[in-house]
Chain A
């Protein structure tokens, strides 16, 4: 079982609210990721970080922002939530052994914006 945690697990919130999804890992991994996943669809990378003070946008355009002030913590923030943000958000961290990178996923946050 991976030591990567996400809170909250479920969130129902009104349009226009600011929200922060928390992600933390205790494995000392440098690389962390945020994915968005809709039911029956593939995971889409929205943000990633290769270490402290390093953040990059992923393949899927997102109105969210991230920060990486500490190695173990990678929060995602939506300044003004909209119904189109309703989705599942998965956080992951990875380690590299030789040429193989293994990603470990958190349990996800299911977000519903009314």
Chain B
């Protein structure tokens, strides 16, 4: 069973609207959680990283939240643009640096329509 579950699997929104993507994980021990954006035909690009003590982090129109107690994270996209159309992947690390292993979610496929 995948230890990182994302929802929804896919989402269609109109340009300019906001949306929120969810990530639930069971990975333990927890080191950090990253959100990646993967454009079609490209490799993933890191958007945000949060450690246990952080509960929110922003990167432009992207805001990630983390509740380490309930093991949930969300990625909020504000004022969506056509270029936001991509797959958004939640990745959890179980240990810092050298010995850490990464657990990948299957991603949420976001489509922004004009």
Given A42-B4, A42-B106, A101–B100 Cβ distance below 8 Å?
A: yes
From B42, B93, B97, A107 is in contact (CB under 8 Å) with B42
Q: How large is the interface on A (under 10, 10 to 19, 20 to 34, 35 or more residues)?
A: 20 to 34
C-alpha spacing A96/B49, complex, angstroms: 13
Given A40-B106, A42-B4, A42-B104, A99–B43 Cβ distance below 8 Å?
A: no
Provide the residues of chain A in CB contact with B49, threshold 8 Å.
100, 102
A21 within 8 A of partner (CB): no
Contacts across chains A and B counted by CB atoms under 8 Å: 60
- Give A94's nearest chain B residue, CB to CB: B97
B43 with A92: CB separation less than 8 A? yes
How far is the CB of A107 from the nearest CB of chain B, in Å?
Answer: 5
Provide the residues of chain B in CB contact with A76, threshold 8 Å.
none
Given A99-B96, A101-B96, A102-B49, A41–B43 Cβ distance below 8 Å?
A: no
B46 within 8 A of partner (CB): yes
C-alpha spacing A89/B52, complex, angstroms: 31
Provide the residues of chain B in CB contact with A102, threshold 8 Å.
46, 49
B60 within 8 A of partner (CB): no
Q: Mark B78-107, 1 if CB is under 8 A from A, else 0.
A: 000000000001000100111011101111
From A42, A50, A99, B107 is in contact (CB under 8 Å) with A42
B96 with A42: CB separation less than 8 A? no
A96 with B4: CB separation less than 8 A? no
A108 with B96: CB separation less than 8 A? no
Provide the residues of chain B in CB contact with A100, threshold 8 Å.
32, 49, 51, 96-97
From A4, A42, A91, A107, B2 is in contact (CB under 8 Å) with A42
B41 within 8 A of partner (CB): yes
C-alpha spacing A40/B89, complex, angstroms: 11
A111 within 8 A of partner (CB): no
Greatest chain A CB density within 10 A among B51, B105, B106 is at B106
B105 with A108: CB separation less than 8 A? no
